């Protein structure tokens, strides 16, 4: 929601007026909390939407304000272009509406357009977040990052490295929306206060690493790629088993962590729906983007969301720091998922992250069954893994 500043207005006053943390107001408007406002400045108020009301018989400013738990001055601020004391029954006025429910409906087949739509909605209503375009996929889809928080501890999460694991993007976006709701409303998640997390943590999320692959699984191939991907898929037009990017390269086998071992032992020696590690490490733009992000940001912790198995992997070749075991124990306690230190696998993003940075890295295998997991598992996955999402930020 936007308001137009009046003479004497300050962000501190707006913080009290709308009961929104001052830091969120400052970050939403990219200025210091102490900066003076000028008359006519357009100021973003996070966590609110402007709603048009048609006045009914008996309506009064104090009644409208009371029903919304706001000050009368909120109404005066939003209706500066009206002589509000002369409004009559049937006239329209603007009132602020605090956002108390999710704006993201991710419990659906969640493709790259769904993600784009939700990112725009969240940015509009929670302008203290950042949406960064990191680069583009093979087909030119933007690979986007959400940044939340102003702390020194850098935590990264990602989803949909694998195309038919698209439900991970939907789960991540639901967590993001609920986190933003809690921050703006002074709420908690899993009994943990969220505003201190915002102040202490810099959270990076790439909800959909492989947008081309996700769209292929959910929507079928684009016409100009149709013959190529059907050939890679051994003549089948059923893409539900497709994990790779649109080039037929498994993005989670693309990283320089003993990549040669995976190249030698993986059965596909040419592009395939799954498991083909490419002709060399980091040949695919999506993998390059993720490596560049980690190299640039030097995250303190990384969590990759995959499916399925109700377990997670937290070690790699003994490169992981000692704190990884403590975190893994807590993740397991909170979720009921099995903690597995080592698996016979290389060249994954988690493997490379641990090897390269010697920081805690985790691959979560959400749910259980056959990929792609059905949406009927969405609620159970959300509930089981919510504790891991929050603990990743406060531990």
Q: Which residues contact 282 (CB under 8 A, 6 or more apart)?
A: 254, 255, 256, 288, 291
The CA distance from 219 to 110, in Å, is: 10
Give the mean model confidence (pLDDT) for residues 232-261: 98
- Identify whether the C-beta of residue 176 lies closer than 8 Å to the C-beta of residue 121: no
The CA distance from 164 to 345, in Å, is: 20
User: 201-233 in b/e burial notation, b at 16+ Cβ within 10 A?
Assistant: bbbbbbbbbbbbbbbbbbeebeeebeeebeebb
Query: Active site residue: 165, 262, 320, 365, which one?
Result: 365
pLDDT at residue 335 is higher than 80 = yes
Q: What is the pLDDT of residues 260-303, one digit of tens each?
A: 999 999 999 999 999 999 999 999 999 999 999 999 999 999 99
Axis-axis angle for helices 323-335, 378-394 (nearest 10): 150
Confidence grade of residue 84 (pLDDT, cut at 50, 70, 90): confident
13: tokens are 């006053």
- pLDDT confidence of residue 66: 92
- pLDDT confidence of residue 102: 97
pLDDT at residue 383 is higher than 80 = yes
Strand partners, 92: 54
Q: What is the pTM of this model?
A: 0.96
Q: Which of 22-36, 137-151, 349-363 has the lowest mean pLDDT?
A: 22-36
Comma-separated ranges of CATH 3.40.630.10 domains in the chain:
112-213+281-394
For the domain bounded by 112-213+281-394, which CATH number is listed?
3.40.630.10
Distances (CA, A) of 390 to 176, 198, 203, 384, 385: 11, 12, 11, 12, 9
Catalytic residue flag (residue 124): no
- Give the three-class secondary structure for 366: strand
Confidence grade of residue 238 (pLDDT, cut at 50, 70, 90): very high
Comma-separated ranges of CATH 3.10.350.10 domains in the chain:
2-98
What are the two backbone dihedrals, phi and then psi, of residue 250, each rounded to the nearest 5 degrees?
A: -75, 110
Q: Which of 87-96, 197-206, 215-224, 320-329 has the lowest mean pLDDT?
A: 87-96
Phi/psi zone of residue 152: left (φ > 0), alpha (ψ -120 to 50 degrees), beta?
alpha
Give the mean model confidence (pLDDT) for residues 136-158: 98
Confidence grade of residue 374 (pLDDT, cut at 50, 70, 90): very high
Report percent pLDDT > 90 for the chain: 93
For the domain bounded by 2-98, which CATH number is listed?
3.10.350.10
- pLDDT confidence of residue 32: 80
Give the mean model confidence (pLDDT) for residues 106-120: 98
Say if strands 192-193 and 188-189 run parallel, antiparallel, or are unpaired.
Answer: antiparallel
- Give the three-class secondary structure for 314: coil
- pLDDT confidence of residue 272: 98
């Amino acid at each position: 929601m936007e308001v137009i500043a009046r003479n004497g207005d300050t962000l501190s006053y707006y913080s009290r007026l709308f009961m929104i943390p001052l830091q969120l107001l400052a970050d939403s408007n990219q200025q210091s909390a102490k900066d003076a406002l000028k008359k006519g400045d357009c100021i973003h108020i996070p966590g609110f939407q402007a709603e048009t009301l048609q006045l009914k018989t008996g309506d009064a400013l104090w009644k409208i304000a009371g029903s919304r738990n706001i000050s009368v001055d909120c109404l005066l601020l939003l209706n500066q272009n009206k002589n509000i004391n002369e409004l009559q029954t049937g006239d329209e006025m603007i009132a602020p509406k605090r956002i108390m429910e999710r704006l993201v409906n991710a419990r659906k087949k969640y493709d790259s357009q769904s993600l784009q739509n939700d990112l725009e909605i969240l940015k509009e209503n929670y302008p203290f977040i950042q949406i960064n375009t990191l680069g583009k996929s093979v087909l030119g889809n933007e690979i986007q990052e959400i940044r939340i928080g102003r702390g020194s501890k850098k935590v990264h999460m990602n989803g949909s490295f694998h195309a038919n694991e698209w439900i991970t993007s939907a789960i991540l976006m639901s967590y993001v929306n609920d986190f933003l709701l809690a921050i703006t409303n002074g709420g908690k998640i899993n009994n943990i206060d969220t505003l201190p997390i915002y102040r202490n943590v810099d959270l990076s999320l790439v909800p959909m690493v492989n947008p081309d692959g996700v769209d292929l699984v959910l929507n079928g191939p684009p016409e100009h790629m149709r013959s190529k991907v059907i050939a890679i898929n051994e003549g089948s037009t059923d893409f539900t088993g497709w994990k790779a990017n649109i080039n037929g390269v498994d993005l989670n086998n693309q990283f320089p962590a003993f990549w040669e071992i995976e190249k030698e032992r993986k059965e596909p020696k040419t592009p395939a729906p799954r498991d083909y590690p490419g002709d060399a490490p980091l040949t695919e733009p999506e993998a390059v983007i993720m490596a560049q992000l980690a190299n640039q940001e030097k995250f303190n912790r990384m969590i990759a969301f995959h499916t399925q198995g109700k377990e997670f992997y937290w070690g790699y070749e003994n490169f992981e720091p000692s704190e990884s075991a403590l975190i893994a124990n807590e993740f397991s306690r909170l979720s009921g998922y099995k903690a597995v230190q080592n698996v016979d696998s290389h060249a994954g993003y988690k493997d490379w992250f641990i090897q390269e940075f010697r920081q805690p890295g985790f691959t979560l295998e959400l749910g259980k069954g056959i990929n792609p997991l059905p949406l009927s598992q969405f609620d159970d996955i959300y509930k089981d893994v919510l504790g891991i999402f929050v603990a990743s930020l406060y531990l």
